[in-house]
Amino acid sequence: MGAIDVKLPAALASECGGARHLTVDLPPEATLADVLDRIDATHPRLARRLRDEAGQLRRYVNIYIGEDESRRLQGLGTPVAGHDIQILPSIAGG
Amino acid sequence: MAYLVLIGTRKGLFTATSDNRHDWVLKGPHSLDADGFTAVSEIYATAADPATSRLLVAAESPHFGPSVWSSDDLGATWTEPEAAPLAFPQDLPYRPLDFSDTAGVDQPGSGRSNTVKRVWQLAFSPARPGRVWAGVEPTSLWSSDDGGATFTFNRALWDHPHHETWGSGGGGPAVHTIIPDPHDGDKVTIAMSTGGIYQTSDDGRTWDGITKGITVDFGPDPEPESGQCIHKVARDAEGTLFTQNHGPVYRREKDGWANVSAGLPSEFGFALTAHPSRPGTAMVWPVVSGMYRFPPDHRLAAWRTDDSGDTWAPWGTGLPDGDYFTPVLRDASCTDGAADPAWYFGTRSGDVFAAVDSEGTWRPVAEHVPDVLCVRAIETT
């Protein structure tokens, strides 16, 4: 098991009691999907802000694994061991 | 008496309160969630239960998706369930959103799964306490028996043989109108665009299309049973249905529909509202045409009938008398259901007006808010 630090945007902080970080413990082979599944088990409302009911990332939710956005890696199947994770909503809108 | 108006806009929920329906206090945009992203979310559906004063608001955040909030203290505080109030069963085969959706391209990131994009309509059932119906994009109907906290997907409508002919109007493929029968909880009328008008008399277990007789001018079949561009449906005090279509306004008759647009300046429009207690009385807000979506003569006007559509006339004083260039969207009109009801409507310019039926004077409820998508009003004491 390893501790993965997940950094949250301010727009979702209340879902974690105001905290801007979550720590999840996962086995070394864990993927981003495993991280989100773990969040879903403990913080379901936060989880559904990030993924739809089909399990896909919402269009304007970006998740960085280390320094790379997950869509540029292996998406939800990207291994996360050794990396911090940061959730960043797109800055968009008029 | 006191009155509350819920104004759903392109950016957030606004509320207005009044003791006399002349002078209004406007508040908003409201943050339904603690972090405030709902203050800039799209509010396509609101509902107010006259029996309990419970309020419901459906917000769609472009970032964080759709959800439904409730309030039992007239909007002072809002509650959202932990679990998603609406979520498609994932063992359901994928249905394309419309004819152009051959690769799921209208649902970026969602591949070929059915997912709730937006809630377009929320309606309390007057005859069944606790029951709330939700009309959703993609075209689907849902019901709740816990006041709108959790919703169940209506499989019977999804499996209707017409489903393959339902598609996407300009705003998206959705059930946008739900009219629960005020006396029989098993009876509900719904409408979708594109699609048609459907009714159930067995609490949603079966659905019958009642669109036949409405004509279209945009397809090879002038009277298709489905694939129609229904914009809004309203039920008058005696149960007669009226519909504002992409084309004419119709009145439901024994075995079909009668075109009752002859007295209107144009056949096209979106919003339609019926008087809650006077049969045959309804209001529409005409738009020049499908290609020229401005009020006739660029003047804002509410057109009213008191004889079931046989004749129409502009109603009320007090509306802006200068040029006005935006329409009233399909869910942006209502009444408050009072014994002497007031009529309400909002425009894409962000203006909301109210007029007490017995007075006939439009007064501003809100000015310069974002595009008004939906309006609901309730008598609160």
ipTM for the predicted complex:
0.95
| pLDDT value for B104 | 43
Say whether pLDDT at A1 is over 70: no
Q: Which residues span the domain enclosing A56? A: 2-89
In chain B, residues with a C-beta closer than 8 Å to the C-beta of A61 are 63-64
| pLDDT value for B108 | 42
DSSP B86-138: S---TTSPP--SSTT-SSSTTSTT-TTS----EEEEEEE-TTSTT-EEEEEET
Work out the minimum CA distance from A3 to partner chain B, whole angstroms. Answer: 25
* Total domains present in chain B: 1
Please indicate whether, in this complex, the C-beta atoms of B113 and A49 are within 8 angstroms of each other: no
How do beta strands B228-235 and A2-7 pair? unpaired
- Position A94 in a domain: no
- Position B99 in a domain: no
Q: Which residues span the domain enclosing B64? A: 3-89+114-379
Give the Cα separation of B356 and B336 in Å (integer).
10
Please indicate whether, in this complex, the C-beta atoms of B111 and A54 are within 8 angstroms of each other: yes
- Position A7 in a domain: yes
Token digits for B176?
A: 């946008």
- Position B244 in a domain: yes
End-to-end CA distance of chain A, in Å?
43
Please indicate whether, in this complex, the C-beta atoms of A61 and B80 are within 8 angstroms of each other: no
- Position B108 in a domain: no
Nearest CA to B115 out of A46, A48, A51, A52 is that of: A52
Residues shown for chain A: 94
* Residues of A within an 8 Å Cβ radius of B: 10-15, 44-45, 48-50, 52-61, 89-90, 92-93
Say whether pLDDT at B264 is over 70: yes
In chain A, residues with a C-beta closer than 8 Å to the C-beta of B113 are 52-54, 56
Please indicate whether, in this complex, the C-beta atoms of B115 and A44 are within 8 angstroms of each other: no
Helix, strand or coil, per DSSP, at residue B378: strand
Nearest CA to B259 out of B270, B269, B247 is that of: B247
For residue B30, list its beta bridge partners: B13
Nearest CA to B120 out of B142, B104, B144, B87 is that of: B142
Work out the minimum CA distance from B194 to partner chain A, whole angstroms. Answer: 25
Residue holding tokens 């499908």? B290
Q: CATH number, domain at B260?
A: 2.130.10.10
Token digits for B74?
A: 């007239």
Give the Cα separation of B3 and B191 in Å (integer).
29
The beta-carbon contacts of B59-62 under 8 Å, at least 24 apart in sequence, are B59/B13, B59/B32, B60/B117, B60/B118, B60/B119, B61/A49, B61/B37, B62/A59, B62/A60, B62/A92, B62/A93
Q: pLDDT by residue (tens digit) across B22-67?
A: 999 999 999 999 999 999 999 999 999 999 999 999 999 999 999 9
- Position B77 in a domain: yes
Work out the minimum CA distance from A53 to partner chain B, whole angstroms. Answer: 6
Token digits for A23?
A: 């720590």
**Would you place residue B220 in the very low, low, confident or very high pLDDT band (cuts 50, 70, 90)?**
confident
- Position B120 in a domain: yes
| pLDDT value for B101 | 56
Please indicate whether, in this complex, the C-beta atoms of A58 and B36 are within 8 angstroms of each other: no
| pLDDT value for B110 | 44
CB neighbours (10 Å) of residue A31?
A: 19
Please give the DSSP secondary-structure letter assigned to residue B169. Answer: B
Mutate to test the interface with A, among B42, B63, B106, B371 (most CBs of A within 10 A): B63
CA B129 to chain centre: 21
How do beta strands A2-7 and A85-89 pair? parallel
Average confidence (pLDDT) over A46-58: 96
For residue B378, list its beta bridge partners: B4
* Total domains present in chain A: 1
For residue B13, list its beta bridge partners: B8, B30
In chain A, residues with a C-beta closer than 8 Å to the C-beta of B95 are none
Please indicate whether, in this complex, the C-beta atoms of B90 and A61 are within 8 angstroms of each other: no
Percentage of chain A beyond pLDDT 70 is: 99
Work out the minimum CA distance from B288 to partner chain A, whole angstroms. Answer: 28
For all residues of chain B together, what is the average pLDDT? 94
In chain A, residues with a C-beta closer than 8 Å to the C-beta of B64 are 11-12, 49-50, 58, 61, 89
Mutate to test the interface with B, among A53, A56, A60, A76 (most CBs of B within 10 A): A53
Give the Cα separation of B122 and B13 in Å (integer).
15
- Position B107 in a domain: no
Average confidence (pLDDT) over B143-171: 93
| pLDDT value for B154 | 98
Q: Which residue of A lies nearest to B31 if distances are taken between CA atoms?
A: A11
In chain B, residues with a C-beta closer than 8 Å to the C-beta of A48 are 65, 67, 83-84
Q: pLDDT by residue (tens digit) across B194-207?
A: 899 999 999 999 99
Q: CATH number, domain at A29?
A: 3.10.20.30
Work out the minimum CA distance from A51 to partner chain B, whole angstroms. Answer: 8
- Position B62 in a domain: yes
Token digits for B112?
A: 């070929």
Percentage of chain B beyond pLDDT 70 is: 96
Give the Cα separation of B88 and A55 in Å (integer).
11
Please indicate whether, in this complex, the C-beta atoms of B113 and A56 are within 8 angstroms of each other: yes
Helix, strand or coil, per DSSP, at residue B70: strand
**Would you place residue B268 in the very low, low, confident or very high pLDDT band (cuts 50, 70, 90)?**
very high
Q: Identify whether the C-beta of residue B122 lies closer than 8 Å to the C-beta of residue B58.
A: yes
Please indicate whether, in this complex, the C-beta atoms of A48 and B37 are within 8 angstroms of each other: no
Nearest CA to B44 out of B164, B169, B165, B175 is that of: B175
Token digits for A93?
A: 């809108």
- Position B9 in a domain: yes
Say whether pLDDT at B103 is over 50: no
| pLDDT value for B124 | 98
Average confidence (pLDDT) over B206-219: 91
Burial of A37 (0-12, 13-18, 19+ CB in 10 A): middle
| pLDDT value for B106 | 43
| pLDDT value for B99 | 56
